[in-house]
Amino acid sequence: MMMIRPRLQPIQSFFRPTPLTRSLFTSRPRPRSPPLTFLPNARPLTRTSIPNSSTRTTLTSNQIPRRRFHVRSIPSSAFAHKYPVTTICLRLVLSTVVGLSVLTAAILFHDAFTYSERHVDRVPANPLSLHPRTGGKKNLPILEVNLDSEQVEKQAMKDKPRLVIIGGGWGAVAVIQSLPAEAYNVTLISPSTYFAFTPLLPSACVGTVEARSLVEPLRKLIARVRGHFLLGAAVDLDMAERLVEVEVPKDQGDGTTRCYVPYDKLIIAIGSTSNDHGVKGLEHCFQLKTIPDAQAIRRRIMTNLELASLPTTTPEDRKRLLSFVVCGGGPTGVEFAAELVDMMAEDVLKYYPRVLESEVRVSVVQSRDHILNTYSEKISQYAEKRFARNEVDLITNARVSEVTADKVIVTIKDPNDKNAKPKTLEIDSGFTLWSTGIAMQPFTKRLVEMLPNQYHSKAVEVDSYLRVEGAPKGTVYAMGDAATVHTNLINDLMTLWDKYDKDKDGTINYDEWQEMAASIKKKYPLTGKHIGKMRDIFDQYDKDHDQKLSLNECAELLQNLSSKVTSYPATAQVAAQQGKYLGGMLTKLSKQYKVLRANDMPDLDDEMYYEPFSYRHLGSLAYIGNSAVFDYEGWSLAGGLLAMYAWRSIYWSEQTSMRTRMLLMLDWVKRGIFGRDLSKF
Amino acid sequence: MMMIRPRLQPIQSFFRPTPLTRSLFTSRPRPRSPPLTFLPNARPLTRTSIPNSSTRTTLTSNQIPRRRFHVRSIPSSAFAHKYPVTTICLRLVLSTVVGLSVLTAAILFHDAFTYSERHVDRVPANPLSLHPRTGGKKNLPILEVNLDSEQVEKQAMKDKPRLVIIGGGWGAVAVIQSLPAEAYNVTLISPSTYFAFTPLLPSACVGTVEARSLVEPLRKLIARVRGHFLLGAAVDLDMAERLVEVEVPKDQGDGTTRCYVPYDKLIIAIGSTSNDHGVKGLEHCFQLKTIPDAQAIRRRIMTNLELASLPTTTPEDRKRLLSFVVCGGGPTGVEFAAELVDMMAEDVLKYYPRVLESEVRVSVVQSRDHILNTYSEKISQYAEKRFARNEVDLITNARVSEVTADKVIVTIKDPNDKNAKPKTLEIDSGFTLWSTGIAMQPFTKRLVEMLPNQYHSKAVEVDSYLRVEGAPKGTVYAMGDAATVHTNLINDLMTLWDKYDKDKDGTINYDEWQEMAASIKKKYPLTGKHIGKMRDIFDQYDKDHDQKLSLNECAELLQNLSSKVTSYPATAQVAAQQGKYLGGMLTKLSKQYKVLRANDMPDLDDEMYYEPFSYRHLGSLAYIGNSAVFDYEGWSLAGGLLAMYAWRSIYWSEQTSMRTRMLLMLDWVKRGIFGRDLSKF
């Protein structure tokens, strides 16, 4: 060891300790280590050979105990031994400072390489992209070549199948992220330029996190697969010619124009709108589906607080301005109410007149018995208890019948007496949030009208491979809130019958039923839960006990099975899993293209090479005022701050980019240190 | 040392190293230190007593060499000696990780104490605050008691003089920050709820920094002095009754109502609006004075880029959409153009079709010969050279004659031939920024109309103590962009004459002139620069060389002196210094109140206890596309990235709060790592 000391010398001298740094970086003068036995010619120097300090000063420079640059301990040995805890704390602070300094220096160093000057390369655009040819039924421009084709497309890309994705939410982004680069010529059509992390929108309404921390530009996400982004909204579909009709903005005003985007595969991931439930006056409500919604809500909350703080405002108006009514007791409504109450308690009332404190009123109107009714009962109860403690008004069994500019009119049923006349309640409201379920986007509605086999009222029906029912096979897919997986087994009755009545005796015996059930289970994973005990089911529907199912008995079985199956919830989790599924399917297909073509097989029969979509529920979670609840297959957890941190961790891990992950973390830290920003803009 | 080991034990065992952490945290197995001589009964254990590893394993647990938790070196000693640089790097990375982990843990620990639940204390408001009495000329409500008086006012506060500050910008905030707590009953009136760091607005237009990082809520700033905030805009003033008439919003719509705010001292720090220079069509322009302005500009820039990326947009429209015209070559215009060019080069063109690259055009229209004409020539030239390199069109000697929805019409003079007919140029524009000088706010205009001695066209005239000319002494002050320090010496001629013609001979001799000059210099610090050589000035105006100045000669001297004096520039720096000055004056006054009252002296004569305001120019700076320029008293610096970091440092140090300081730093780091956010909202 001593032999190689000289090599370390230059670095040591670079860090040669001054008296100050010495006291910071070394715990005490360290004796030279005793010589190791494999270096017998080294001069032994043990502690006992330096009996006192006066002797030490007489050592030659070569003999002076070396102090190497170690982040070892801050103060001198005596101090460290006297105050061990303080020493450890100081050491930690020191390493924090060193760490942060190093990190900052590294970032600034990196930063210096990120500045570039403008340098214009004139790249001629493809003439077809500047002046697209017109065509289709309505003779609109057809965007066959994209404006950025010169940039992102190699010659080979032109032959790739065109994959068009409508929407820029959870489903669409999951597809993009699970596709390999350059497998498809991808075009993403969305009216907004970014993906938004919707589950945290309630936090953005009050500034717990900033809106900018929840978004990732779609152009950045699509760049990885060398795709194209088109700002616009799909309005119609020509499935024969495989053209999506898109409405794109024109000039800076409200004008629009239309064009066609050709596709080989189309994915509809367009999401949903709010369900108005036929209630009048919803134009007075705020919604919470987009980033601008959250910004508008934040502005309104701060406006109301300022207005309520004016001495010129009458006490009645003040009361109304500070009454916040949330219609809908699902996760969005509950989380918004919780965030609002948090902000009032932690930040607002510190800086606003105290008279506001007793006037703030947050009400949640829920049509069912309990809030969070899709969660377990335990969770519901916990949330309700928590809300009661925070003085949130919970109005259950209540339906909103009308909303006006300053009132929410509610009809309350008595849950115990169904014949009782419902009571009517008028709640003064300075802010009304509408978050009660979903409805179809106009494009989804148009699609449903166009197709023959669509019966669902809230979404387009797809089969287990997420293919839109009634559309040409293998070309049009739908998912997320826009889609509902069809389990209308009765449609398959005759196909199943012909296939599994193997002995052609006009009945299905138990062996045949077993095969049929397996096939149903595979094709409709949603039925899996209900098809468990095959013998029991067989016996139940074999009413004449002849150990055979007649066609009628079989039809009844399938009908009842369909009715038991519930569709997937309209959540980000489902959309993300479906997107990943479709991405995987398309990836697999892209790999098999050559084989399929060589064997002259079509690329449209997903069943040939892929499994049906199966949802794996990873639990539900919700934030309820400095605590959180989790729910997973009957196992539920509700708790305080620790649960809240767990809730944050899960959302944190679900982020689409490191950028938003960093921003979110910083937002939470920022709130912890400085509180929420109360500026209104 | 061994005696206290047991005390360290729990902490050590908490950090007891696993084989993995041991290899990270210790350089090699360390022998137990040799016993100290003051512990003679301890069993000596030196390295040589552990000759080989087999012996070591036989040691009892008490004898096992302890490994203390030290951030000493990462790999084993042999590694460290073989790769000393790598070792140091690894150590730094480790301390960074440890540091960050500790910091994060500390913050989250702190965070856990910042959550509080809602707890309503019913505090009755002062009835007078809920139902203010009406009065004044217009019989409006008079806000004598604020809504939050119960909360922030002790009984003693009620007797404090009422200080009303109109505005929430640099000047107002500087006053608040230099006032002691509870010296005055402060009310701040502003139509926006936050202070904005205006010099960085151009950065916020393109996302180099976020708008939220530039603001600090006024309520937070005012809380320190236990003041009140009133959302509203001052519209009129009753100086006899000492009432400011304020227009406050009413309900959530556009409705307003009016009220009076009584004052003892009034500070007008209301800023300025843009000067329209009588140009038609300014409604098609964007301005850059507020945070919403910056947000609107950011949205528009991103909208234009998206529109230009649509294949349905014609090449002509694309060209126009990508033409950005900046009217005004002052710091705001120049910095905005620079930031825009930066964003295009560094972020936008990576993700947008490449055809945009050659179409983006940034033009700066300047009425003078050079941009940044208030800076030194060297700086101007540097900026122009830089702009030329970045292909920014510079149109000098040009006046905008009209702005339309898609054009800027400019008249260009030939600087060399004054008789030549000006040329007219039409610039297609998809975005026009108007940043050409300042004009009075409506309230300032009203004030100027109301007062007798106001002649300035752009601001209200104040004396050297920042008292509004013509208003009752010691009650109304104005500063910042709203005010211009009056140096109309001729008004003082007779006063000066009577005072300094000490021998009453009807003339001023040189001795008398010296005294007079000293008094002028003291009262009007702006004249200091021009009054330097007293003998020369005396000789210059003593035209008959009789060593005496006649009244006429003296009048001419004062007149010329006044005309030489330029007023302070309309910058944040001036406003902040004036605010600090007024804050200091009010602080001093508040300390002398008792003395003044005891001596039956009025509190209105600032000259009795305070010096006139004197501006100390700390230099000008501007950002020009990844470089910055500084200008200070003829000494100027222009340079690349280092200058840019210096520019950032100065702005960073000028922040009003640690919060915005942290946010700004993080924004810069974020841009360095991830680039600007291109989401449009």
**Quick one: A139 and A185 in the same domain?**
yes
User: Which of B32, B108, B109, B115 to mutate: most A Cβ within 10 Å?
Assistant: B115
Assigned domain for B210 exists: no
Assigned domain for A635 exists: no
**Quick one: A51 and A104 in the same domain?**
yes
Check if the beta carbon of residue A104 is closer than 8 Å to that of residue B103: no
Which of B100, B147, B666 has the CB atom closest to A353's CB atom? B147
Is the pLDDT reported for residue B216 higher than 90?
yes
Is the pLDDT reported for residue A63 higher than 80?
no
Nearest-CA distance B357 → chain A (Å): 6
**Element containing residue B88 per DSSP (H, E):** helix B84-111
**Quick one: A288 and A348 in the same domain?**
yes
Q: Can you give the pLDDT at residue A55?
A: 39
Q: What does pTM read for this prediction?
A: 0.82
Q: Name the region of B325 (left: φ>0; alpha: ψ -120 to 50; beta: rest).
A: beta
Whole-number Cα distances in Å, B348 to A114, A189, B369, B460: 13, 19, 32, 44
For chain A, positions 283-322, list CB contacts with chain B under 8 A. 291-292, 295, 300, 302-304, 306-307, 309-313, 315, 317, 321
For chain A, positions 464-523, list CB contacts with chain B under 8 A. none
Is the pLDDT reported for residue B21 higher than 70?
no
Q: Can you give the pLDDT at residue A656?
A: 85
Contacting residues of A for B123, CB less than 8 Å apart: 354-355, 357-358
Q: Can you give the pLDDT at residue B304?
A: 94
Q: Can you give the pLDDT at residue A168?
A: 94
Q: Can you give the pLDDT at residue A118?
A: 60
**Quick one: A390 and A310 in the same domain?**
yes
Rounded to a whole number of angstroms, the CA Rg of chain B reads 34
The answer to whether B129 contacts A4, with C-beta atoms less than 8 Å apart, is: no
Alpha carbon distance B681, B301 (integer Å): 11
Pairing between β-strand A628-632 and β-strand A620-623 as defined by DSSP bridges: antiparallel
DSSP per residue, A544-579 = T-SSEE-HHHHHHHHHHHHHHPPPPPSSHHHHHHHH
Contacting residues of A for B355, CB less than 8 Å apart: 123-125, 129-130, 147-148, 150
- Summary mean pLDDT of chain B: 82
**Quick one: B540 and B590 in the same domain?**
no
Task: CATH number of the domain at A472, please.
Answer: 3.50.50.60
The answer to whether A121 contacts B33, with C-beta atoms less than 8 Å apart, is: no
Alpha carbon distance A211, B207 (integer Å): 13
The DSSP 8-state label assigned to residue A30 in this structure reads P
Which has the higher per-residue pLDDT, B465 or A646? Answer: B465
3-state secondary structure B442-503: HHHHHHHHHCCCCCCCCCEEECCCCEECCCCCCCEEECHHHEEECCCHHHHHHHHHHHHCCC
- Collect all residues with Cβ–Cβ distance below 8 Å to A454 and sequence separation of at least 6: A447, A448, A460, A461, A469, A470
Is the pLDDT reported for residue B45 higher than 70?
no
**Quick one: A330 and A258 in the same domain?**
no
Contacting residues of B for A198, CB less than 8 Å apart: none
For the four alpha carbons of A450, A453, A459 and A462, in that order, the dihedral sign comes to: negative
The answer to whether A100 contacts B100, with C-beta atoms less than 8 Å apart, is: yes
Alpha carbon distance A200, A660 (integer Å): 12
Alpha carbon distance B496, B516 (integer Å): 7
The answer to whether A219 contacts B351, with C-beta atoms less than 8 Å apart, is: yes
Assigned domain for B198 exists: no
For chain B, positions 185-224, list CB contacts with chain A under 8 A. 192-194, 210-212, 215-217, 219-220, 223
CB of A72 within 8 Å of a chain B CB? The answer is: yes
Nearest-CA distance A241 → chain B (Å): 20
Q: Can you give the pLDDT at residue B11?
A: 38
Check if the beta carbon of residue A268 is closer than 8 Å to that of residue A277: no
Alpha carbon distance B191, B230 (integer Å): 8
**Quick one: A166 and A264 in the same domain?**
yes
Ranges A215-229, A505-519, B20-34, B278-292: which has the least confidence:
B20-34
Rounded to 5 degrees, what angle do the CA atoms A451, A455, A461 make? Answer: 70
CB of A33 within 8 Å of a chain B CB? The answer is: yes
Q: What is the mean pLDDT of residues B513-538?
A: 83
For the four alpha carbons of B199, B205, B209 and B210, in that order, the dihedral sign comes to: positive
**Quick one: B370 and B425 in the same domain?**
yes
Is the pLDDT reported for residue A605 higher than 90?
no
**Quick one: B317 and B461 in the same domain?**
no
Q: Can you give the pLDDT at residue A20?
A: 42
CB of A389 within 8 Å of a chain B CB? The answer is: yes
The answer to whether A212 contacts B679, with C-beta atoms less than 8 Å apart, is: yes
Is the pLDDT reported for residue A525 higher than 90?
no
Would you place residue B561 in the very low, low, confident or very high pLDDT band (cuts 50, 70, 90)? confident
CB of A674 within 8 Å of a chain B CB? The answer is: yes
Contacting residues of A for B257, CB less than 8 Å apart: 312
Contacting residues of A for B353, CB less than 8 Å apart: 125, 146-148, 151
Alpha carbon distance A527, A520 (integer Å): 8
Alpha carbon distance B486, A141 (integer Å): 66
Beta strands in A381-470 (DSSP E): 392-395, 398-403, 407-412, 423-428, 431-434, 438-439, 460-462
Q: What is the mean pLDDT of residues A283-305?
A: 94
Would you place residue B634 in the very low, low, confident or very high pLDDT band (cuts 50, 70, 90)? low
DSSP per residue, B194-206 = EEE-GGGHHHHTT
Q: Which tens digit of pLDDT belongs to each residue from B99-124? A: 777 777 777 777 777 777 666 565 56
The answer to whether B626 contacts A115, with C-beta atoms less than 8 Å apart, is: yes
Ranges B269-273, B345-349, B576-580: which has the least confidence:
B345-349
User: Domain total for chain A?
Assistant: 4
For chain B, positions 230-249, list CB contacts with chain A under 8 A. 230-232, 248-249
Alpha carbon distance A1, B47 (integer Å): 15
CB of A47 within 8 Å of a chain B CB? The answer is: yes
pLDDT over 90 percentage in chain A: 35
The residues pairing with A423 across neighbouring beta strands, listed in sequence order, are A412
Check if the beta carbon of residue B345 is closer than 8 Å to that of residue B625: no
Q: Which tens digit of pLDDT belongs to each residue from B462-518? A: 988 999 988 998 899 999 999 988 777 887 888 888 888 888 888 888 888 888 888
User: Which of A11, A96, A314 to mutate: most B Cβ within 10 Å?
Assistant: A96
Rounded to 5 degrees, what angle do the CA atoms B175, B177, B179 make? Answer: 70
CB of B385 within 8 Å of a chain A CB? The answer is: no
User: Which of B192, B247, B354 to mutate: most A Cβ within 10 Å?
Assistant: B354
**Taking the CB of residue B648, how many other CB atoms lie within 10 A of it?**
18
Q: Which tens digit of pLDDT belongs to each residue from A103-112? A: 777 777 777 7
Contacting residues of B for A216, CB less than 8 Å apart: 679
Q: Can you give the pLDDT at residue A443?
A: 94
Task: CATH number of the domain at A548, please.
Answer: 1.10.238.10
Helices A658-674 + B658-674 axis angle, to 10: 170
Assigned domain for A413 exists: yes
Picking from B111, B138, B157, the residue at the C-terminal end of a domain is B111
Is the pLDDT reported for residue A448 higher than 70?
yes
Write down the residue that tokens 């005294």 correspond to: B515
User: Which of A121, A300, A312 to mutate: most B Cβ within 10 Å?
Assistant: A312
Q: Can you give the pLDDT at residue B604?
A: 73
> Which tokens go with B638?
């222009």
Contacting residues of A for B98, CB less than 8 Å apart: 92, 95-96, 99
DSSP per residue, A307-357 = HHH-TTS-HHHHHHHTEEEEE--SHHHHHHHHHHHHHIIIIIHHHS-GGGT
**Quick one: A8 and A106 in the same domain?**
yes
Which has the higher per-residue pLDDT, B450 or B606? Answer: B450
The answer to whether B309 contacts A147, with C-beta atoms less than 8 Å apart, is: yes
The answer to whether B121 contacts A194, with C-beta atoms less than 8 Å apart, is: no
Burial of B17 (0-12, 13-18, 19+ CB in 10 A): middle
Task: CATH number of the domain at A365, please.
Answer: 3.50.50.100
Whole-number Cα distances in Å, B234 to A120, A353, B28, B243, B448: 50, 21, 73, 10, 14
pLDDT over 70 percentage in chain A: 85
Q: How many CA atoms lie within 13 A of A227 on its CB side?
A: 28
Assigned domain for B421 exists: yes
Assigned domain for B58 exists: yes
CB of B24 within 8 Å of a chain A CB? The answer is: no
**Quick one: A352 and A422 in the same domain?**
yes
Assigned domain for A227 exists: no
The answer to whether A146 contacts B626, with C-beta atoms less than 8 Å apart, is: no
Is the pLDDT reported for residue B267 higher than 90?
yes
- Tell me which chain A residue has its CA closest to the CA of residue B47: A34
Check if the beta carbon of residue A333 is closer than 8 Å to that of residue A432: no
Nearest-CA distance B72 → chain A (Å): 5
Which has the higher per-residue pLDDT, B609 or B275? Answer: B275
- Tell me which chain A residue has its CA closest to the CA of residue B103: A96
Which has the higher per-residue pLDDT, B150 or A287? Answer: A287
The answer to whether B73 contacts A70, with C-beta atoms less than 8 Å apart, is: yes
The answer to whether B46 contacts A46, with C-beta atoms less than 8 Å apart, is: yes
CB of A642 within 8 Å of a chain B CB? The answer is: no
Q: What ipTM goes with this model?
A: 0.82
The DSSP 8-state label assigned to residue A126 in this structure reads P
Alpha carbon distance B326, B342 (integer Å): 15
Nearest of B333, B342, B399 to residue B372 by alpha carbon: B333
Q: Can you give the pLDDT at residue A357?
A: 83
**Domain range enclosing A289:** 282-435
Backbone phi, then psi, for A500, in 5-degree steps?
Answer: -100, -10
Nearest-CA distance B597 → chain A (Å): 33
Is the pLDDT reported for residue B205 higher than 70?
yes
> Which tokens go with B203?
């950065």
Q: Can you give the pLDDT at residue A427?
A: 95
Would you place residue B59 in the very low, low, confident or very high pLDDT band (cuts 50, 70, 90)? very low
Alpha carbon distance A190, B261 (integer Å): 51
Contacting residues of A for B79, CB less than 8 Å apart: none
Nearest-CA distance A383 → chain B (Å): 14
Nearest of A308, A201, A198, A46 to residue B34 by alpha carbon: A46
**Quick one: B510 and B549 in the same domain?**
yes
- Tell me which chain A residue has its CA closest to the CA of residue B231: A306
Q: How far is CA B61 from the centre of its chain?
A: 64
Alpha carbon distance B262, A375 (integer Å): 56
Contacting residues of B for A393, CB less than 8 Å apart: none
Q: Which tens digit of pLDDT belongs to each residue from B643-663? A: 788 788 888 888 888 888 889
- Summary mean pLDDT of chain A: 82
**Element containing residue B257 per DSSP (H, E):** strand B256-262
Nearest-CA distance A185 → chain B (Å): 15
End-to-end alpha carbon distance in chain B: 64
What is the three-class DSSP state of A423?
A: strand
B/e letters for B448-475, b = 16+ CB within 10 Å, e = fewer, are beebeebebebbbbbbbbbbbbbbeebb
- Collect all residues with Cβ–Cβ distance below 8 Å to B236 and sequence separation of at least 6: B244, B245, B443, B446
Assigned domain for B324 exists: yes
Is the pLDDT reported for residue B164 higher than 70?
yes
The answer to whether A33 contacts B51, with C-beta atoms less than 8 Å apart, is: no
The answer to whether A306 contacts B88, with C-beta atoms less than 8 Å apart, is: no
The answer to whether B111 contacts A672, with C-beta atoms less than 8 Å apart, is: yes
Is the pLDDT reported for residue A47 higher than 70?
no
